[in-house]
Structures are given as structure tokens and as C-alpha cells.
Structure 1
Amino acid sequence: MAATVEDGGGKTAPTPPPPAKPLCGELVLRLLLFAVSLSALVVLVTAKQTEVVPVVLAPQLVFAPVAAQFKDSPALIYLLVALCATTLYSLLTAGSSVKSRGSSCAKRVFVLILLDVVYAGIMASATGAAGAVAWVGLKGNDHTRWNKICNVYDKFCRHIGSATALGLVASILLVLLAGLNAYSLYRRSR
């Protein structure tokens, strides 16, 4: 039911809707999410280094160039896919925020909360998997005889560590966005 306002002649006219408030905080967080996830994506894709290392061939030890690439680990490929999806999602939702200009309905906000939580979960799991691989690369595992590789492939490890840290930041931004939208929906219900 629309509110009415009496004008000077005793007639009632519908109250104009309040001006739409720009969702500045949400838009800034979505643009920051885009920048962080795109940066992590670029850093991860450029993670490649070739070094000459000893390779054991049946009768002898030979030194050969061996490349370390992000494509060599399924966990890093998972991080790549999660970052691609998050980058696209952040770009689409930032555009949606600009298009709606703060006059979004409760249904849209609810859907954004759900999607933000889903993407936060995907990013958190991908970051955890990549972090585990990065830790083994950094420290090795004596019990399983997995040698550390970061003492040889230092540039590669810096790229993987940076991409993993940026993935963690993207996860935190998605949680903040979900909380911001949940608060917005809560405020509307009061």
C-alpha cells in the first residue's frame, strides 16, 4: 500500500519513492574482489620455472632441465578454475549492482547472499588445497619421502604462495559480501 501526502487543496497524492541509495560498499567490495581474483589468476598462470636438476635414469644419474608448472598439480588447477569462476562472478555481480543502483529487491539480495556463500566455499576449499600443495613444496614430507622443491624452484613457489594468499583474500571478501547483504536484508525486514 503506497503512502499518500495531502497537498494544499485537500487532494492526496502518492508519496514519491525515496531516492535509491547507491550500494557503494557492496560495489567497492565486488570491484576489489574482481581485482584480487584477477591478480591471483594472472600470478597463478605465470607460475612456471625450469631448472637443471639431477634425474635418476636406470644405470646412472643425469642432470636435465625439468619444468615446474601449475598444470602439474590438480590442486593448483582447481585453484585456477575457482579463480576463473570467481573473477567472472565478481564482474557480473558488480555490473548487476551498478545496474540496480541500490533499488534491488529482497529476492535479489537473498540470491546474492546464497551465491556469495557458495563462491566463498569454493574459494576456501581451492585455497586450502593449493595451500597444502604449497606447504609440501616448501617443507616436504619426510614420512612419505616427498622432497621439498622450493629450495630449487624459488620463483615458482613464490608465485604459488602469492596466488594462494590472494585466493584467501578473495574468500574473505566473499564472506564480507555475504555478511553485508545479510545485514541489508535484515535491515529491510525491520
Structure 2
Amino acid sequence: MDTWNIEAFLRILSTVLFALTACLVGFDTQTKVLFYTLTKKATFKDLNALYVIVWIDTAVAVYNLLQVLRSYILPGFRKDLKASYRYLAWGIYLLDQGFQAAAYVVFAATMAAVQASTLAVTGEKSFQWMKVCNRYTRFCVQIGGALLCGSIAAILMAITSSISAYALFRHYSPKKFLQLKGK
């Protein structure tokens, strides 16, 4: 299996995981009846970090999907990096560096959501915050699973970006800076 197929597989897998994360967080709700008449509904909008996760993961999943579609529209240009494709390869590499920055943003947003969710699980006595997950157990379990999927997808994004850099720079000579290797 060459790097092109591995990269496509990792992009598809991370797209699925990001879409799964966004759906699990975005559609997760649980309603509880408090004091026999008062109802309280827990949604992702109650925690700003979860709200951000939904939008970031959706955007990155769309970007991944566009890159996978691009790989099927232009299937052979990485295998034979000619002068005409060199600029396209550099453009995709620079996009993937933005992709790597997105990986860091996704990872940071996921870790912020994990931190906020940990407060929901444990509570904080000094601030008199009660444990939310005692009342909304299913909601918290589903959010935990979604955050695990998001963390795995962020790691896959970093690996994909490394493979993309390798796929570009393996065509260049190690002795002469940014000159294509001879045949």
C-alpha cells in the first residue's frame, strides 16, 4: 500500500470520525423532570466548548471530504511529479499545512471540551457547582464517546499531514534544496 492510499484511507477515516463526533454532540439531548413539574433539558448548547466542537468538527470533516474528492479527480499527479504538477502539489501541501493547523485547533477544542466535561462529571465544591452527570448520565456518556472519537480523529489528522509532506518532499533531491530528483 503506497502513501497515496494510506493518506486517502486516513482522510476518509478522520472524516467519518469528525462527522460522528459532530452528530453525537449535536444531536445529544436528555430531558429530566425536576420537582415533578419543572423540566430541564441538557443539550450541547449548554456548554460553549461543545458548541464550538460541533462547528469545528463539521468544518474539518467537509475539508477532509473535499480533499478525498480531489484525490479522485486528480489521481495520478503525486505518482509522477512533473513540472506541471509541481505547483499543484505545493498548493495541496500548503493547504495541508492549514489542515495541520486545523488539527491543532481541533485538538485544543476537544481538550477544552474534555476539561469542561470533567467539571460536569466531578463538580466543584468551592464554586458550588454540582455534578451534572449524576442527573444526565446518558447525555454525559454520549458526549464522552464523541470526545474520544474527536481525539482519535485529531491524531489521524496530524498523521495525514505528515504523510502529505512526505509525499511531496520525497520527489526532491536531498542534496540540492528544492530541486526535483533526476530520473
Output the TM-score relative to the length of structure 1: 0.79
The percentage of counterpart residues that share the same residue type is 28
**Offset at residue 121 of structure 1 (A):** 1.5
1:158 aligns with 2:141: yes
**Offset at residue 22 of structure 1 (A):** 7.9
1:71 aligns with 2:52: no
Mapped partners of 1:119, 1:87: distance in 2? 11
Instruction: Name the structure where helix makes up a greater proportion of residues.
Output: 2
Mapped partners of 2:135, 2:121: distance in 1? 10
Mapped partners of 1:168, 1:102: distance in 2? 31
Counterpart residue type for residue 141 of structure 1: E
Mapped partners of 1:154, 1:69: distance in 2? 13
1:134 aligns with 2:108: no
Q: Determine the structure 2 residue equivalent to 1:88.
A: 62
**Offset at residue 63 of structure 1 (A):** 5.5
1:170 aligns with 2:129: no
Give the 3-state SS of the residue equivalent to 2:32 in structure 1: strand
Mapped partners of 1:63, 1:124: distance in 2? 40
How many pairs does the alignment contain? 163
Mapped partners of 2:127, 2:111: distance in 1? 20
**Offset at residue 100 of structure 1 (A):** 1.7
Provide structure 2 residue ranges, at least 5 long, that are not aligned to the other structure. 79-85, 174-183
Q: 1:131-152 deviations in whole A, cap 9, x for unaligned?
A: 1111011111122111111111
Higher mean C-alpha displacement, 132-141 vs 45-54: 45-54
**Offset at residue 43 of structure 1 (A):** 0.7
Counterpart residue type for residue 101 of structure 1: P
Mapped partners of 1:175, 1:102: distance in 2? 23
Provide structure 1 residue ranges, at least 5 long, that are not aligned to the other structure. 1-20, 55-61
Distance 1:22 1:166, change over 3 A: closer
Mapped partners of 1:22, 1:110: distance in 2? 14
Q: Determine the structure 2 residue equivalent to 1:12.
A: none
Output the TM-score relative to the length of structure 2: 0.82
Q: CA RMSD in A?
A: 1.8
Distance 1:22 1:75, change over 3 A: closer
Give the 3-state SS of the residue equivalent to 2:39 in structure 1: strand
Mapped partners of 1:22, 1:160: distance in 2? 33
Give the 3-state SS of the residue equivalent to 1:188 in structure 2: coil
Contact 1:33 1:174 (C-alpha < 8 Å) held by counterparts: yes
Contact 2:3 2:163 (C-alpha < 8 Å) held by counterparts: no
Contact 1:109 1:185 (C-alpha < 8 Å) held by counterparts: no
Contact 1:37 1:170 (C-alpha < 8 Å) held by counterparts: yes
1:115 aligns with 2:98: yes
